[in-house]
A and B are shown apart, each in its own frame.
Chain A
Amino acid sequence: MILALGLAACALAASAPAQAPEIPEAWPDGAKGWPRPDWMELTAKRLDKAREARPPGPEIALLHAKATDLLERARRSTDNRFRFERLIAAVNSLLDAADRVAWARKVERTPQDKDFWGAGFVLQGCYFRVRQAEYFATLTEDNKSEQYVTLARSLYQQGRGAYDAREYQRARLLGDASSLIVFSLECIAQATIPDPHIYR
């Protein structure tokens, strides 16, 4: 009887259809905390909130528009976990950049004595990141990817202007925003990989 039960179990196991691998419940916990499995909804909510909260400006409007497009692409890419994750990361990065730009608008524009070196290092790194954006832009399947590059470059230039005006906090925020846009572009470029064979 035991033998019969065993054979039956084996037969059931062999005849059962192959299940798709489950989406992990949590993404690896990065430095900034990656979205949870419900990140689609969370990101959409964040975008809506940002649209409502932020005063409209050309850069922020463009960032929100791009984030909306990317979120839509992410929605269509749920079957590819890697692409999906990269696009959501890009959206969040753009929203972070929009936050920095909005913050920079609010910062008092008076010369400062503090953060001379810190802002300088941020802008130095930003300079190279903006140059990397040109390369990443060539890899995206977006024919308007140049807008990212232009915006990143523009924010970098504004940051440089603020640095020259000794507005170090504003310079750092604009530089951060520029680098975040480049990171977003990098994520979009990585999302074009059709079938990443290794994922850690």
Chain B
Amino acid sequence: MRFPAPVSFRAQAFIIGAASLAVVALAALIVRDVVFTTEAKLLGDALRRCETACRELASQVRERAAYAGDPLEQLPRQALEISLKGISSTVLQAFPGIKGGMYLPAEDAVSGYAYPTAEEEPEARPGLSGMETDFIRTLAARAGAADAMVSGSDWENRDLIVGAAVRSGGMVLWTLRRVPVLRYPLIGTHRWWLIALGFSTLLGVGGIVSIWYRLHSGVRSIQKGLRRLEDDFSFRLPSVRGDLGRVARDINLMAERRMALEQKLRQQDRLAALGKVVSGVAHEVRNPLNSIKLTLQLLERRLKKGVAASTEVAECLEEIDRLDLIVGRLLAFGRPVMTHRHVQDIAPVVSQAVKMVHEPMQKKEVRIDLDLPRGELRADVDAPQIVQVLINLLLNAIDASPREGVVTVRAEAEGGRVSIRVADGGSRIPDEVRPHVFDAYYTTKENGSGLGLAVSREIVANHGGSLQFESEDPGTTFILTLPEERGASDAA
């Protein structure tokens, strides 16, 4: 059987604190129960001993009366006390700690004799406190009324008085004993232990609360730091003492290593990109150069024969123009794009782009279905740059579409952003090509430069938008997403 574990530090601290308090409370209850049970047992034992002593006292008085013609209560007080002292000296010595004597109701006189312990010197006439005398009177009255042995108990300060009484002729014989109550000596002798227990309990609960607070605040600090680290990888968690501090240091160390790793990867990517650029440029430049070389060789031969060579010169100039175009594109890709954005209706931008691809569209007999929403669809864009992006996407779509195919362009607003979807009916992009779709100088076309999509994504990123694609069989859809207003992307 598994119990659900408490998830928060607060719950855990609460459970531990409650458990600690429960343990202390349980221990206190057990001690209290033990003390009270022991007290009750002592009380019962004392009561039984008092009754036995009283019974024995009465028995001895009867025994004496059997051999004497004088009823005790008819003797003078001094003589009576001699007799009773003799009797009690034998009886009460067998009951240490019990006081005993007689009560004469006619005179309301109480006499007491006690032998606290068998070892100690007998105390001939112990003093009776006022409370004890009252208690004896009460017992004597009850014994006189009941005509039988009675017993009872009463409190005096922190002692419990228990006693028994029985009527014997015209007097009442009584015994009593003081039972020290355990709880008060226990509290007295263990006061410092009890204070220490209370103090340690408070300390324990305080410690638990402190641990909970420090854990809670430390974890919250780390959580906040981790969230900030997601946005800003240069951020480092604040130093915290203790175990959580080690966790924070480890996270910071991990961030440092990851940063270093990313820098290394970026450098490697840059080098790889440079390699691609170099190979692309070499490939792009080599073809016109070969063409120029061949044309110049032909021109040389014709000039030797004295034949006019204006055609070859024109071809060379054309190839040089092509070289210039390639270098221009390369420069355009390398330099940072300056945007002149403002919030505007996006429909004219899309329409302009569609117009620009009219010729290749007709050449391949491809139809473009334009789906623009009613009303204005506004976005914060640099219109010529977005037109360039859309032209790239439309040209790719036309190239990918079969003859007499359909390219769908649909614009819509969703979640504070404007999305423009350009979908073709061509074949699915192969899996091995997908990771390189946006790589510069990566192309699958015979005459492609491999810069169209790379430049387009750069432009879109500068607008705070994104350029993604979905490719299924049939067709691929490029999704251009732009913020409706400047800063919307930041807010999102």
Residue contact B71 to A190, C-beta cutoff 8 Å: no
In whole angstroms, how far apart are the Cα atoms of A57 and B343 in the complex? 150
A199 located at the interface, meaning its Cβ lies under 8 Å from any Cβ of chain B in the complex: yes
Interface size on B, residues (CB 8 A): 26
User: From residue B32, how far is it (CB to closest CB) to chain A in Å?
Assistant: 43
Q: Does A86 contact B (CB under 8 A)?
A: yes
In the bound complex, do residue A89 and residue B69 qualify as a contact, i.e. CB atoms below 8 Å apart?
A: yes
Which residues of chain A come closer than 8 Å to B83, judged between CB atoms? 186, 190
One of B70, B75, B78, B86 near A132 (C-beta < 8 A): B86
Q: Is the beta-carbon distance between A200 and B86 smaller than 8 angstroms?
A: no
Residue on A with the closest CB to B74?
Answer: A200
Q: List residues 139-176 of chain A with CB under 8 A from any CB of chain B.
A: 139, 176
For A197, give its contact among B74, B77, B86 (CB under 8 Å).
B77
**B interface: dominant SS:** helix
B67/A176 in contact, CB under 8 A: yes
Instruction: Write the chain A residue with the least CB distance to B86.
Output: A132
| A128-B88 Cα distance, complex, nearest whole Å | 10
CA distance A129 to B64 in the complex (A): 8
Q: Does A28 contact B (CB under 8 A)?
A: yes
Complex Cα spacing A99 to B76, Å: 29
Interface check B68, CB cutoff 8 A: yes
Contact of A93 with B67 in the complex, beta carbons under 8 Å: yes
CB atoms of B74 and A28 under 8 A apart: yes
A116 at the interface (CB under 8 A from B): no
How many of A's residues come within 8 Å of B, CB to CB?
32
Q: Known: A34-B69, A89-B70, A129-B64. Is A186-B76 also a contact (CB below 8 A)?
A: no
**Residues on B with beta carbons closer than 8 Å to the beta carbon of A189:** 82, 86
B64 touches A135 (CB 8 A): no
Q: Which of A28, A82, A183 contacts B68 (CB 8 A)?
A: A183
Q: Does more than half of chain A's interface fall in helix, strand or loop, or is it mixed?
A: helix
B159 CB-CB contact with A under 8 Å = no
C-alpha gap A131/B56 in the complex (Å) = 14
Q: A30-B69, A34-B69 are in contact. Are A128 and B63 (CB under 8 A)?
A: yes
Interface residues of B in 70-99 (CB under 8 A from A): 70-71, 73-79, 82-83, 85-87, 89-91
- In the assembled complex, the CB of B4 is this many whole angstroms from the nearest CB of chain A, namely 74
How far apart sit A193 and B65, CA to CA, in the bound complex (Å)? 21
Residue from A132, A135, A189 with most neighbouring chain B CB atoms (10 Å):
A132
Q: Which of A89, A128, A200 contacts B60 (CB 8 A)?
A: A128
* A198 and B77 contact, CB distance less than 8 A: yes
Of B69, B73, B83, most buried by chain A (CB within 10 Å of CB) is B69
A83 to chain B, nearest CB (A): 10
Given contacts A28-B74, A129-B64, contact A196 B79 (CB under 8 A): yes
- Ranked nearest first, the 8 interchain pairs of A and B with the lowest CB-CB distance are A30-B69, A196-B76, A125-B63, A32-B69, A132-B86, A190-B79, A131-B90, A193-B78
Q: Which residues of B are in contact with A by a Cβ distance under 8 Å?
A: 59-60, 63-71, 73-79, 82-83, 85-87, 89-91
Q: Which residues of A contact B (CB under 8 A)?
A: 28, 30-34, 82, 86, 89, 93, 125, 128-129, 131-132, 135-136, 139, 176, 179-180, 182-183, 186, 189-190, 193, 196-200
